[in-house]
Amino acid sequence: MSFLDCSCISHAQVQPMDIEEHYEDTSHHFLSFDSSQSTLHGTGGADDLAALTAESTHYQLLSELGRGFNNLSLVSMARHRPTGQLVAIKQTNLDECTEEELLQLMNEVLLSRFFRHPNLLTSRLVFSSCCQLWVLTPLMSYGSADMLLRTYFRDGMSESLIAYLLYGVLKALEYLHRMGYVHRGVKASHILLSGEGRVYLSGLHSVYSMMREGKRMRVVFDMPHHSPALLPWLSPELLRQDLHGYGVKSDIYSLGIVACELVSGRVPFQDMLPTQMLLQKLRGSHCCLLDVAPFPLSELGGLKISRSGVDSGIGESVATGSLTHSATAPPTDRPQSPGPKNHSATLHNLVQQCLQQQPEQRPSASALLSHAFFKQVKRHTFDSFLSLMYPAVLLTSPAHYDSEPPVACAPAASCHAPTSTVGGAPEAVWDFS
């Protein structure tokens, strides 16, 4: 049964959408990919969910992973009873969704079933149970990059781990851009990592097509939904909302913000008011990796920045920060520079290229894949990947929980919003907004 057939939402007038008609303008030959190019290929088949069944009673909910979609969706780790396989299940209360939210859900589900790439997190099974939409995906046992930063790498990740994550994201972006889509939601909470070491990009609810009437548009003008939560990552041209529009290079700017986020453990611009953030981006303010002075030395009272402290690059966090350069802020309001660490010249160059003010000056996703910063990724094996992740542990490990492992409970059978009745960590470990 389609989730739009649920009797609880019969009041919503939703126009039927045919997936073949909706995507007739897309270049289907990009649906194929070379599996040999996926990250750490051959490390296992944990994401093969072909044996899953569309019956809610076949799943044992284990722990809550997070919430999203205006708090209407609950994401849980679950076990498929017939096979014992662990999966992630997103339950969305359709009865409380507005018509616009229903259309967003339908678009996300259709796109998720349409895309095929080893670095894109797509749904493997979708069905309705009472008035809940169940979307099943492979379990990302290391959670999101945002969760890893908040839990294990609070001062930032090593350059090797950053390169590993960003390379997987770029592979997904290259695919989306060649298909004629712009993601518009690239951030650390949408970068997920499986227990086998595969990097996935999620957040397909913000994806937007650049195809119109059989032609690929150079720019588009649509503002993404839930844009206030995405403001720190959005490009200046997207925020400007003028006649020039924006294109796929907007995602490259977001990738540069994510790089700063992974380096420092903090999101650039996030502590600013939305209006101040908008002005800073439109003025061309950018993020600095703090082994260089974020302000002219004369304005820092002649303070010289030490260039000591080299990142080993393997398995240790990097105590660095990223700041916003504001030429108009009074000196008393400027943040103090923490003890800097050296970053490689290739990382500096990558961030600089991604955060170019003019989108035409930014490289494409395909060009960035050959950037010198990512040469180290090709040397990694599964064992070296585990060393990069230390001290992080899998979500399925008992060490992840402060108390006893979560106690399973039966799936909810009502039409009400999912409630946090399952066991698990004291707070959500994923951000699905």
- What confidence tens digit (pLDDT) does each residue in 117-168 have? 999 999 889 999 888 999 999 999 999 999 999 999 999 999 999 999 999 9
Contact partners, residue 183, CB within 8 Å, separation at least 6:
173, 176, 201, 203, 206, 207, 251, 254
- Assign 298 to helix, strand or coil: helix
Q: Which tokens in the block code for residue 409?
A: 């409970």
- Tell me which of 275 and 169 has the higher pLDDT: 169
Out of 2-11, 14-23, 24-33, 50-59, the most confident range is: 50-59
Query: Which helix (H) or strand (E) element contains residue 69?
Result: none
Distances (CA, A) of 140 to 47, 185, 249, 398: 9, 19, 28, 16
Residue 116: its pLDDT value, please?
92
Rounded distance, CA 46 to CA 54, Å?
Answer: 19
What share of the chain has pLDDT > 70, as a percent? Answer: 68
- Name the residue ranges covered by the structural domains of the chain: 3-139+397-431, 145-389
pLDDT of 425 strictly over 90: no
Tell me if 76 sits within 8 A of 88, measured CB to CB: yes
Distant-in-sequence contacts of 238-243, Cβ < 8 A, 24+ apart: 238/184, 239/278, 239/281, 239/282, 240/282
Q: Give the bridge partners for 138, in sequence order.
A: 87
Rounded distance, CA 209 to CA 181, Å?
Answer: 4
Q: Is the domain defined by 145-389 classed in CATH 1.10.10.10? A: no
Provide the pLDDT confidence category of residue 380 given band limits of 50, 70 and 90.
confident
Report pTM: 0.76
Q: Is the domain defined by 3-139+397-431 classed in CATH 3.40.50.10470? A: no
Rounded distance, CA 392 to CA 207, Å?
Answer: 30
Rounded distance, CA 366 to CA 290, Å?
Answer: 28
pLDDT of 104 strictly over 50: yes
Q: Give the bridge partners for 289, in sequence order.
A: 322
Interval 29-51: pLDDT, tens: 333 344 434 445 434 445 667 88
